[in-house]
Chain A
Amino acid sequence: TQLLEQSPQFLSIQEGENLTVYCNSSSVFSSLQWYRQEPGEGPVLLVTVVTGGEVKKLKRLTFQFGDARKDSSLHITAAQPGDTGLYLCAGAWSGTASKLTFGTGTRLQVTL
């Protein structure tokens, strides 16, 4: 059974601060995705990474995929209240590509 560890579970910061969320597995991912979910809504895809060492940027969000494709991080620069939400990583492994396994999530709150 592949497991996905996500940390931290909760993060409460002030507007303008930086933060990093981590996603780790003991197995090699074939692909990894990051989502953001608002209360009562479905997760919205932010990015997909597939290549070891890959870095992708989405405005103030920077996503990194580890060289060994076992871990990933999401870094937010100068957080804003609009960044508040539940951040989820989800991985697929070779042989089970039709099944996404989700991390437990990081609940981020950004206050003024």
Chain B
Amino acid sequence: KAGVTQTPRYLIKTRGQQVTLSCSPISGHRSVSWYQQTPGQGLQFLFEYFSETQRNKGNFPGRFSGRQFSNSRSEMNVSTLELGDSALYLCASSLAGSWTEAFFGQGTRLTVV
């Protein structure tokens, strides 16, 4: 079956702009999590959704937001982009939200210039 699909793969934005990233989980998976990966900080948890409800949120400013749709697809939005937002954004899905197994997409590489 198809894995986790993230679009787009690469994105270049200018400071101050906003961006929306998309994630389609594995079919049947109801939980989606988002992570930011940078060389200095590693993988940092952004937020997690289960059945359209945000269950957990990491320590990121309010400029980072997300949502999950009834078909489990998820989007994350970053407003007023800063240079420091340049990173690989990873989405992971899990079958029932217990996160004993997480399946990651290939990520979206965001570059802010």
Contacts and interface: CB of A to CB of B under 8 A. Distances in A.
Describe A's contact surface by its main secondary structure. Answer: loop
Nearest to B35: A102
Contacts of A104: 42
Contacts of B105: 42
Contacts of B99: 31, 92, 97-100
B48 interface: yes
Given A42-B4, A42-B90, A105-B42, A100 B102 contact: yes
11 contacts: A41-B106, A42-B104, A44-B104, A45-B103, A88-B42, A96-B56, A97-B99, A98-B55, A98-B56, A99-B33, A102-B35
Given A98-B56, A99-B48, A88 B43 contact: yes
A98 B92 CA distance: 12
B102 A45 contact: yes
Interface of B: 4, 6, 31, 33, 35, 42-43, 45, 48, 50, 55-56, 58, 88, 90, 92, 97-107, 109
Nearest to A96: B56
Interface of A: 31, 33, 35, 40-45, 48, 50, 88, 90, 92, 96-105
Contacts of A99: 33, 45, 48, 56, 58, 99
Counting chain B CB atoms within 10 Å of each CB, the highest count among A35, A98, A99 belongs to: A98
Contact of A41 (B31, B48, B55, B107): B107
Given A42-B106, A42-B107, A96-B56, A101 B45 contact: yes
Q: Which of A44, A92, A96, A99 has the most CB of B within 10 A?
A: A99
A48 B97 contact: no
B53 to A, nearest CB: 10
A50 B100 contact: yes
Nearest to B48: A98
B42 A102 contact: yes
